[in-house]
Amino acid sequence: MDHDQLSIFLVVLGVAVIPFLARRFRLPSAALEIVYGALLFNTLIDGRPDWFQLLRELGFVYLMFIAGMELDLRSVRKSGKTPWYVLISLLSFSVTPLLFVAVGQPYFVGVAVAMISAGIAIPVLKELELSRTPLGRDIIGVALTGELLSILVLTLIDAYQRHGLTLGAALELGKLALLFGLALLVLRMLYLLAWWHPDRVARVMESQDPVEEGVRAVVVVAFGGGILAAAAGAEPILGSFLAGMVFSQVFHSMGRFEEKLNALGFGFLIPFFFIGVGSQLDLRIVAAPGIVLTALALTAMVLVSNLWPVLLVRPLRLTLREASAMAVLLSAPLSMIVVAGTLGKRMGLISEPTSAALILTALFASVIYPSLFRILAPRLAGR
């Protein structure tokens, strides 16, 4: 067995085994995948093969497509609390980075700490049977709204980093808005076709479709959005996120079809991204006492950044205990902190040690805060 064959086998073996370990120890699979990637590529595998780099990028793009697809704007609007959901995210993104600048830390590190994601919040709420409660819906609403604003903030920073406050930046954002409008138009046409030919759509999306025509079409949409965004001069993940978001708004009743898309992503493509993130970590850097202490401090700051629900108890119509639980669960934005750390390093805004500290922060936060929320959950369920 040559080096590439052994590498492929070990990576795929990790993808297969890690979910069982994650369920056994009640940890996020993504966190264990990052750890596995760090151990594997720092001990048994030398370098990162080209095929693995490609799979990592494909997983990155598809992860953001799934994130966009989970953004149900209808349910957020129906809650009647949308302005408060937006306010929580805006306060995090405006206050937290300024706090970091005030203590002499890079502005972008504060942005990364302020990231909000639904990737861990939704599974934890479903596991504890809280996703359909008023508190669960509020947490999901804040998480999804924050995830959208997180992507927009990263996009604006990327545009500013490339062009500064110039006409070029405005033109780039204009191209992205045009891209979004074009995607909306195309998918709206698909919606009309689906409305006129419901039998064909049902046949494509049915669970017994032997050639999975619908899944293949959605994969084209996901990666096509990334390619169009890259052509417009933006990060491909923005295009895939927008494609997922628009797709979910047009085809909002997917049933079993959505399970297929999640299975393709979380069962195959997305683990390559998280293992790839781990593969980029230098264990000598990550294990350094200074990096560990920095990560622990940043983990505490993640919670501080998400304390706004406690101050907005009245408008959110929550008890203090419920608001505190919301703040705790929102403090586990694993995927978005990893995305921010990856992009920040790529854009040259943070150093490799800082990027490693952010990824370590994501790991700590994704273990500590969901575990703390599980302790609070029985009391919440009884209310």
Q: How do residues 6-27 score in pLDDT, each as one tens digit?
A: 888 999 999 999 989 988 887 8
pLDDT reading at 303 higher than 90? yes
Phi/psi of residue 235, nearest 5 degrees: -70, 135
pLDDT attached to residue 383: 47
- Of 12-26, 162-176, 215-229, 308-322, the one with minimum mean pLDDT is 162-176
| Within-domain flag for 9 | no
How would residue 136 be classed by pLDDT, with cut points 50, 70 and 90? Answer: confident
The token pair at 241 is 């996120």
The token pair at 17 is 């085994």
- Structural domain boundaries enclosing 182: 32-381
Q: What is the pTM of this model?
A: 0.78
pLDDT reading at 1 higher than 60? no
pLDDT attached to residue 207: 55
CA distance 22 to 300: 24
Q: What is the CATH number of the domain that holds 342?
A: 1.20.1530.20
| Within-domain flag for 53 | yes
pLDDT greater at residue 362 or residue 165: 362
pLDDT reading at 357 higher than 90? yes
Which residue's structure tokens are 């959605």? 218
| Within-domain flag for 98 | yes
| Within-domain flag for 17 | no
Q: Are 76 and 256 in contact (CB under 8 A)?
A: no
| Within-domain flag for 331 | yes
| Within-domain flag for 198 | yes
| Within-domain flag for 307 | yes
| Within-domain flag for 27 | no
The token pair at 249 is 């708004």
**Looking at beta carbons, which pairs linking 255-258 to residues 24 or more positions away fall under 8 Å?**
255/205, 256/205, 256/206, 256/207, 257/205, 257/207, 257/214, 257/215, 258/69
* Inter-axis angle of helices 334-347 and 50-69, nearest 10: 130
The token pair at 196 is 């006129």
- Of 107-111, 116-120, 185-189, 345-349, the one with minimum mean pLDDT is 185-189
pLDDT attached to residue 79: 67
What is the count of structural domains for the chain? 1
| Average pLDDT value for residue range 264-270 | 85
